[in-house]
Amino acid sequence: MGSRLRSGAAVSVRACAKINLTLRVTGVRADGYHGLRTVFQSLAMHDTLTFVATRGPFRIECDDPRCPTDDSNLVWRAASLVWQAMGRRGELRGVTAQIKKRIPLQSGLGGGSSDAAAAIRGLSRLWRTTLPEPLERSVAARLGADVPFFLGGGTALGLERGDLLFPLVDFAPTWVTLVIPPFGVSTQDAFGWFDGDCVSARPDSPIDGPNRRRDEGGFWIGATGGRRTRLAPGEYRNDLEASVAARHPDISRIVRALRRRGAHYSAMSGSGSSVFGLFTSKELATQAAGALSKNGRLAVVTATVGRIRYAALTDPRPLLQA
């Protein structure tokens, strides 16, 4: 356990990003959260977290000065919950969490949530504990609606707040160009704008979003040839996109530009601000990234990651001590 750890023992964990291949808002819940029907997809792009056994109180260090290093960081809250779940009392201590941040903040790519899931895994390994799976899931759900997805990754359908998860057969391996505008969007703002736009569009229906189609067909998830997840064409949409794009028109410009440059689908991810394009070839994905990295935008080429590779990529690794 922590107190018996040699100072300097360390564990490193990758925290992969996600996109939402589709995001439908199905209602507003009694707890104020929105009901969702979303398909999460994990990506190879990742932060790296290293947990080092140190003396003294818990600390976070991050190479991105915009990332909070106090107890508002989900990594801190994850550490507290794991500490309590292990039956520890008193002040959280004995570890420094070092975060190498590559997933931009407030980009809809799940960086904070993925870091939190990585903290649950990494600290469990460092503290040599195994939380029973239901406890691990409930710790993750307490940290945020997206966090449970990052325990398993791959392709998954998320219902309720997005935290009731159904693993799907992996989406076909795909190149992904991410374009991150020079502004972020807070999740709370995006849902607030969506609600406001719904009320002004149809006062009697708080969930009938501005871009919602009346002729909506059923939702189906199938497998092409029994192997890959496929969504019905009408399901490829993000209900939050129109409301965020109304405040940040660059979002729609990027969506259109990615399609012009060969993406077979492009949309805003989650609550924004990033926009993704799906490409069948790395060359096209790279060309699109080159063309779109201007006006303060960051463009990155990455790829989808299936469930088995996700497990290998995000498995905590003990670091050898000098």
**Which active-site residues does the annotation give?**
18, 146
Q: How many CA atoms lie within 13 A of 29 on its CB side?
A: 11
Residue 36 sits in the site that holds ligand C5P (CB under 6 A): yes
Residue 161 sits in the site that holds ligand C5P (CB under 6 A): yes
Q: Is the CB of 2 or the CB of 108 nearer to ligand C5P?
A: 108
The window from 139-147, 177-185, 200-208, 275-283 that contacts ligand C5P (CB under 6 A) reads 139-147
Residue 187 sits in the site that holds ligand C5P (CB under 6 A): yes
Q: Least distance (Å) from ligand C5P to the CB of residue 176?
A: 22
The window from 4-12, 29-37, 54-62, 130-138 that contacts ligand C5P (CB under 6 A) reads 29-37
Q: Is the CB of 251 or the CB of 289 nearer to ligand C5P?
A: 251
Residue 144 sits in the site that holds ligand C5P (CB under 6 A): yes
Say how far apart CA 88 and CA 124 lie, in whole Å: 13
Question: Which of 9, 33, 228, 236 is close enough to bind ligand C5P by CB under 6 A?
Answer: 33
Say how far apart CA 117 and CA 15 lie, in whole Å: 8
State residue 136 phi and psi, 5-degree precision.
Answer: -60, -40
Say how far apart CA 22 and CA 230 lie, in whole Å: 11
Residue 87: both structure tokens together = 């039956």
Q: Is the CB of 66 or the CB of 317 nearer to ligand C5P?
A: 66
The window from 93-101, 142-150, 169-177, 215-223 that contacts ligand C5P (CB under 6 A) reads 142-150
DSSP 190-228: HHHHHHHHHHHH-TT-TT--TT--TT-----EEEETTTE
Say how far apart CA 141 and CA 145 lie, in whole Å: 6
* Other C-beta atoms lying within 10 Å of the C-beta of residue 230: 16
Residue 24 sits in the site that holds ligand C5P (CB under 6 A): no
- Contact residues toward ligand C5P (CB under 6 A) are 33-34, 36, 144-146, 161-162, 187-188, 191
